[in-house]
Amino acid sequence: MNPTLYQLNICLRLHNLSQELNHPATLNDIPDRELDRWAKLGFDWIYALGIWETGTLGREVSRTNPDWVREYKELLPDLTESDICGSCFAIKAYQLHPSFGDPSALKEFGDRLHQRGLKLMLDFVPNHTAPDHSWIQEHPDFYIQGSPEDRQREPQNYTEIPHQGIFAHGRDPYFTGWPDTLQLNYGHPAVLTAMTDELLSIAQVCDGVRCDMAMLILPDIFHRTWGIIAHSFWPSAIQTVKQQHPTFTFMAEVYWGLEWTLQQQGFDYTYDKRLYDRLHSQQAHPVREHFSASLDYQERSVRFLENHDEPRAAGIFPLGSHQAAALLTYLCPGLRFFHHGQLQGWTQKVSIHLCRSAKQVSNPALEHFYEQLLQSLSHPVLREGNWQLLDCSPAWEYNGTWANFIAFGWHNDRHEQVLVVVNYAPYPGQCYVHIPWDWQPVSYALQDLISTAYYERQGEELSSQGLYLDIAAWKGHVFGISAIAG
């Protein structure tokens, strides 16, 4: 329960490793000490972003699209053409990118992770493929095709493939098409079979998939985008894969309030963008409201403070509020998602079209914080205990700062207890936290797992009044609670 995941940008990591080694690096060159460190930090999953083969046509689009090139140059002033490797979501084939090693390197990488108790997650992109996918030649009917009139009317959404015809770019209903992709047609039953087969193939080499924009192929969304009656894909595909691989894990990138829908269709975990957005608003009330959702839903939510799509947390959350938001993100139930560079406090987002980034400067304060946070997450009760949202009340009359507090309680049958409390506000606050546990008439020690703070309180006081707290702006505690013997 409540696993911890680290997203590794494979293209970027291998580029940097190539610079260190003075020769092109492959998966086999990622040193064992790096894998050992991931295991020591307490991660359960390594999500290897961008491992599949991409094609020359998609890369050419990435290198010539003027808007994208302008973005690259803002990120990388000394940009060269070789820095633009193409989007890892314009997939030509679900096989290891030739630049990352021979076909056996992926299995060997997975085996090395498994030896350390780590699982491997890879990408699955259900909505579209690269424009030079083999299906363009073999099964052009797998794609949504258009007419010359469509292309003339919507040049941003259609393209011509020489000798094949006019095809639609992959897109969602709110934006223009991704010009380095072609849209699959889920109104064609053979597409569902072919994509299920792709999933079965992927399941041979990893333990789970992160499904890109998973809601786009829901029948109602697909119909809204394309006007085509689509067949339902996820329930049968997930069931088929799990019949052969019962522990295989499905994680959905999903927005628009469709998280519960995809959980009901079989996904083990779904992105929780709403929590991220509410934390970014830096208002405690909507964050607390978010945690009132059913526990079943929350335990299957993916909690993140950044990922490859979002800005760097260290760039948009000021120091202080960053740590407070991280405590709330990672100490609630669900899958805890950390991004490449987040633990170092990197501030520059790296485009998924690039294989090189500008030199990033680490933030010692954030490095120390994340080291403590990850260490606290190894506590058994935070991994498999029972969680509940706790009530707070005013410390005294007319003191409204209690409303800025968010508190969680974790406990298990072994009488292990952890209290998480955060003052999510830019000014100090006071409150009582009410913890409805079975307090005995003894003294209890409250030892902060992320600092040196230590307090002792009486069980009678905790039972009758609650725990009084006076916390500075954007500060929090993660108290391990234990009875004091004697």
Answer whether 398's CB lies under 8 Å from 278's CB: no
Q: Please give the pLDDT value at position 221.
A: 97
Categorize the per-residue pLDDT at 118 as very low, low, confident or very high, splitting at 50, 70 and 90: very high
Stretch 197-214: mean pLDDT = 98
Cβ-defined contacts of 340-345 (< 8 Å, 24+): 340/6, 340/7, 340/8, 340/9, 340/12, 340/13, 340/49, 340/308, 341/312, 342/305, 342/306, 342/312, 342/313, 342/314, 342/370, 343/41, 343/367, 343/370, 343/371, 343/374, 345/314, 345/370
What count of other Cβ atoms lies within 10 Å of the Cβ of residue 282? 16
Q: Please give the pLDDT value at position 486.
A: 62
Stretch 205-217: mean pLDDT = 98
Pairing of strands 45-49, 4-9: parallel
Q: Please give the pLDDT value at position 77.
A: 93
Q: Please give the pLDDT value at position 180.
A: 97
Q: Please give the pLDDT value at position 272.
A: 98
Stretch 7-24: mean pLDDT = 96
Q: Rounded mean pLDDT of the chain?
A: 96
- pLDDT per residue as tens digits for the range 292-313: 999 999 999 999 999 999 999 9
Answer whether 353's CB lies under 8 Å from 76's CB: no
The closest alpha carbon to 468, from 417, 411, 394, belongs to: 394
Q: Please give the pLDDT value at position 430.
A: 98
pLDDT greater than 90 at residue 201: yes
Categorize the per-residue pLDDT at 485 as very low, low, confident or very high, splitting at 50, 70 and 90: confident
- pLDDT per residue as tens digits for the range 333-390: 999 999 999 999 999 999 999 999 999 999 999 999 999 999 999 999 999 999 999 9
Q: Please give the pLDDT value at position 329.
A: 98
Distance CA 385, CA 397 (A): 35
Q: Please give the pLDDT value at position 85.
A: 95
CA distances to 256, 344, 348 from 340, rounded to whole Å, are 26, 9, 11
- pLDDT per residue as tens digits for the range 221-259: 999 999 999 999 999 999 999 999 999 999 999 999 999
In sequence order, which ranges of 265-320 are alpha helices (DSSP H)? 273-280, 284-290, 295-298, 313-316
The closest alpha carbon to 460, from 476, 448, 443, belongs to: 443
Q: What contacts 34, CB < 8 A, 6 or more positions away? A: none
Stretch 321-329: mean pLDDT = 98
Q: Please give the pLDDT value at position 452.
A: 94
Residue with tokens 């039972």, as numbered in its chain: 463
Answer whether 42's CB lies under 8 Å from 383's CB: no
Describe the crossing of helices 321-330 and 364-376 by its angle, rounded to 10 degrees.
20
pLDDT greater than 80 at residue 72: yes
What count of other Cβ atoms lies within 10 Å of the Cβ of residue 41? 17
- Tokens read off for 54: 């991409």
Answer whether 91's CB lies under 8 Å from 124's CB: no
Stretch 281-299: mean pLDDT = 96
DSSP secondary-structure letter at 163? Answer: T
Asked whether the whole model's pTM tops 0.85, one would answer: yes
Q: Please give the pLDDT value at position 415.
A: 87
Answer whether 409's CB lies under 8 Å from 449's CB: no
Stretch 468-473: mean pLDDT = 97
